[in-house]
């Protein structure tokens, strides 16, 4: 199979294709910047850009419809220009800058086009939405003086003629009027984790050889995304034990790992590097993550332990976390704070922030309970600490309420006895 592969090019440099001969299944390395994140992939020459984005980088916002370049659902930006991702081989795009619909805006800071689509109910089933958003962005960026009458023809490259079509035109026209000089640039292009079902998406800045060598030794550095985490939380737990008893658990990494719900430590590489696996089950979705962890800070005197970790399951879901545990002595014992930033990509990200946040919060609460049990007994918790189930998530708020009521009742009874004395 012979394709023309573009060589890396600087600003203003002409596109210079070079022939690449490879078998249909022979891997060819390609490096691209996708939504601001440099990435390196090793792909068969027959893999299209659409499949590379969806299957190898987990960016499923790019929809594939006709696979003939007719429907426009797979429209993305390649070096700032709209292009059909189903008509391009990924190996043609070495050195290219790709922006997908995921890079257009963030959930908490949508792009004006996305806000307008929502405001005018221009979404309908949503299948054509990514194609329309990226085509509209390209149109309003390169031709901001387009008229309302010209919009149907200019946007005819994306096929959708359902009941949402008129609303789509209205949404694009409103954005055009609000931004006569051109729409704002994509607002979600920053370094983030990219990995899909094929388990690729290596950070291009590390270099493939260094990554492979480090992976074989189990001591590769964990590079967290630079953008905002999917979930950020702080769990505070009051433990009725002295601080040194709590640190008796935090000092023993193997004992500490036994307190993590659904997790087990499988290898100790030394120098604060570990390997392990964790299982998460939410209803019918069951994920098993194999990954690595690294202790960055372990300061008993300062009451601070910081670790980072990353794991990936066979379905391509990936999670990364930056966790800091801090303790402080109190009159009643110890207060432990767990600050966590969690980054999710792939199938697990489809849970939605609210559900993923509930699962993560419940897991940290179970972890804190297990640490308390281990600190009190000096032994690992009795039986494995299981990951939260769908049932426990449903009843967790009710159980928490009952616990609070029982604690309140206990304090009142103790207060009453003290007054009697």
pLDDT in tens, 266-285: 888 888 888 888 877 665 66
Closest-CA residue to 388 (of 354, 410, 413, 356): 356
Flag the least confident range among 34-48, 140-154, 347-361, 390-404: 390-404
- In this model, does residue 82 exceed pLDDT 90? yes
- In this model, does residue 151 exceed pLDDT 70? yes
Beta-bridge partner residues of 29: 42
pLDDT at 216: 47
pLDDT at 197: 47
pLDDT at 143: 94
Select the more confidently predicted residue: 327 or 394: 327
pLDDT at 16: 52
> pTM for the full model?
0.56
pLDDT at 208: 41
Q: Residue 145 and residue 140: Cα distance in Å, rounded?
A: 8
Task: Average the pLDDT over 362-366 and give the result.
Answer: 79
Share of the chain above pLDDT 70, in %: 72
| pLDDT band, very low/low/confident/very high, at 100 (cuts 50, 70, 90) | very high
pLDDT at 297: 93
pLDDT in tens, 102-123: 899 887 789 999 999 999 999 8
Q: Are 132 and 47 in contact (CB under 8 A)?
A: no
Question: CA distances (Å), 202 to each of 52, 146, 154, 212, in order?
Answer: 13, 40, 37, 10
The number of beta carbons lying within 10 Å of the beta carbon of residue 358 is 19
Task: Average the pLDDT over 222-229 and give the result.
Answer: 73
| pLDDT band, very low/low/confident/very high, at 226 (cuts 50, 70, 90) | low
pLDDT in tens, 325-361: 999 999 888 999 989 888 876 555 555 556 666 777 7
pLDDT in tens, 239-271: 888 999 999 999 988 888 888 888 888 888 888
pLDDT at 8: 46
Question: What is the SS3 string spanning 195-208?
Answer: CCCCCCCEECCCCH
- In this model, does residue 153 exceed pLDDT 90? yes
DSSP H helices in 120-164? 129-142, 151-154
């Amino acid at each position: 199979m012979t394709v023309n592969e573009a060589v890396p090019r600087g600003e203003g440099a002409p596109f210079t294709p070079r022939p690449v001969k490879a078998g249909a299944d022979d891997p060819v390395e390609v490096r691209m910047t996708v939504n601001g994140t440099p990435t390196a992939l090793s792909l068969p020459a027959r893999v299209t850009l659409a499949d590379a984005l969806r299957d190898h980088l987990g960016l499923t916002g790019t929809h594939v419809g006709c696979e003939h370049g007719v429907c426009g659902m797979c429209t993305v930006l390649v070096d700032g220009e709209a292009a059909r991702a189903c008509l391009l081989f990924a190996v043609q795009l070495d050195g290219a800058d790709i922006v997908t619909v995921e890079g257009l805006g963030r959930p908490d800071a949508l792009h004006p086009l996305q806000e307008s689509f929502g405001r005018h109910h221009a979404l309908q089933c949503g299948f054509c939405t990514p194609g329309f958003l990226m085509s509209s962005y390209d149109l309003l960026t390169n031709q901001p003086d387009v008229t309302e009458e010209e919009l149907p023809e200019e946007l005819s490259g994306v096929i959708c003629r359902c009941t949402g079509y008129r609303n789509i035109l209205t949404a694009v026209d409103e954005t055009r009027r609000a931004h006569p000089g051109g729409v704002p640039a994509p607002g979600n292009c920053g370094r983030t984790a990219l990995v899909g079902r094929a388990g690729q998406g290596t950070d291009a800045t590390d270099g493939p050889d260094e990554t492979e060598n480090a992976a074989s030794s189990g001591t590769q550095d964990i590079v967290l995304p630079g953008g905002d985490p999917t979930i950020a939380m702080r769990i505070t737990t009051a433990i009725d034990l002295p601080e040194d008893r709590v640190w008796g658990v935090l000092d023993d990494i193997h004992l500490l790992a036994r307190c993590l719900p659904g997790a087990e430590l499988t290898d100790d590489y030394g120098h604060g590097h570990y390997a392990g696996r964790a299982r998460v089950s939410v209803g019918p979705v069951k994920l098993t993550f194999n990954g690595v962890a690294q202790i960055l800070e372990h300061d008993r005197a300062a009451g601070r332990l910081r670790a980072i970790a990353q794991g990936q399951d066979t379905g391509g879901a990936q999670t990364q976390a930056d966790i800091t545990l801090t303790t402080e002595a109190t009159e009643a014992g110890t207060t432990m704070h767990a600050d966590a930033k969690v980054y999710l990509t792939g199938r697990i990200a489809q849970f939605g922030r609210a559900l993923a946040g509930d699962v993560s919060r419940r897991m940290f609460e179970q972890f804190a309970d297990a640490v308390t049990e281990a600190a009190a007994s000096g032994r690992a918790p009795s039986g494995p600490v299981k990951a939260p189930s769908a049932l426990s998530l449903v009843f967790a708020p009710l159980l928490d309420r009952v616990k609070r009521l029982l604690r309140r009742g206990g304090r009142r009874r103790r207060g009453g006895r003290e007054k009697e004395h």
